[in-house]
Copies of this chain bind each other. A is one copy, B any other.
Amino acid sequence: MQQHQAPARRVTIVDVARHAGVSTTAVSKVLRNAYGASPAMRSKVQQAIAELGYRPSAAARGLRGQTYTIGVMLPELRNLFFADILDGIDTQLGDSDYQVLLAAGCNGEKAEAKVIDAMIDRSMDGLILIAPVSAKNRLTEIARGVPTVVVGRHGSSPAYDSVTDDDITGAALVVDHLVGLGHRRIAHIEHHETDRVRLAEMPNAQRARGYRDAMIAHGLEAEIDIASTSYTQAGGYAGARQLLDRPQRPTAIFAGADVVALGALEAITEAGLTVPGDISLAGYDNSALAALGPISLTSVDQDGRQMGATAARLLIERIGRRDRRTAQVKLTPTLVVRRTTAAI
């Protein structure tokens, strides 16, 4: 028994070939289930692989072709909704040969570019970009180089597949629900957006549009009232403060995201008002946050698992046939009613 066994050179395909008494080509064929290997040889090689504990080097593979690695970029780790998407991806890819690796883009165009470049440098076989903030032509450029699926960004591209949730419908669900409860002065807190493309593609912009459309559909055009801040807790607090200061304060607030609702809740409580007694409050995302007993927020559920699974499926298909036409899958959200909304 040695104290310091030599650094233990990794066992390679050559070792396996020698041990099984065949060529490396043969081993490679078995590894990839490629054509041209008899059952006899197949089992001989598989046995050698098992005996030696051989594992193919992804680096060497990457140099030649596939790495069996899929990169997932997500904007941040703190948003629990993204964990659902990841679950969906993992479920779908669970027993495939692909390994999923994650990196956070930190919601900045620069950090996002760095992360995506890093994934490309590592010759990943495919990319799933969750709610990317990069410019559209940048995304297209990326997708031309490597199979890509974009999640949570509306609008279609000839270069990448996309999976979105119908945010317009989601916003309408909230408005319909509140109107059904007798509310008319329903306000909205949105994430401020100026860029033209983003106005069309980003979920936050779609939610605001859905709110407006639904209000108009209910003949409440005159009651439309939007506080434009950001999708953060602080943004929710600020937005609610603005709305509460109106001469006639709203009887219901539709926050564009659950964290926003949380900030709003804080502002409302601070103002000495109660939810849903004085004001009804609804969020968006149905994050774990919303489900928490003491919060119990009415929210729009996006089924992240489904989105993730769909994205993974589309990606695998595209890796298989890169010239396939791109698909745009749009899922439909549902409303989860909890204790923050009530009849007026």
Contact = CB atoms under 8 A, between A and B. Distances in A.
Contacts of A120: 55
Interface in A49-83: 55-63, 67, 69, 71, 76-78, 80, 82-83
Interface in A319-342: none
Contacts of A292: 262, 289, 292, 295
Contact of A69 (B104, B122, B289): B122
A260 interface: no
A241 B48 CA distance: 54
Contacts of A67: 59, 122
Nearest to A99: B118
Contacts of A247: none
A129 interface: no
Contacts of A102: 101-104
How many protomers of this protein does the assembly include?
A: 2
Contacts of A269: 293
Contacts of A13: none
A262 B293 contact: yes
A100 B122 CA distance: 12
B69 A78 contact: no
A316 interface: no
Given A60-B63, A63-B59, A69-B122, A78 B288 contact: yes
A47 to B, nearest CB: 20
B77 A121 contact: no
A106 to B, nearest CB: 8
Contacts of A59: 58-63, 67, 122-123
Given A86-B77, A86-B104, A103-B99, A58 B262 contact: no
A272 interface: no
A294 interface: yes
A117 B55 contact: yes
A69 B118 CA distance: 9
A39 interface: no
Contacts of A288: 78
Given A63-B63, A77-B77, A292-B292, 13 more contacts: A57-B123, A58-B121, A58-B122, A59-B123, A60-B62, A60-B63, A62-B62, A69-B122, A77-B86, A100-B103, A101-B118, A265-B293, A292-B295
Instruction: Give me the 5 closest cross-chain CB pairs, A-B, nearest first.
Output: A59-B62, A102-B102, A77-B83, A99-B118, A58-B122
Interface of A: 8, 55-63, 67, 69, 71, 76-78, 80, 82-83, 86, 90, 99-104, 106, 115, 117-118, 120-123, 144-145, 262, 265-266, 269, 288-289, 292-295
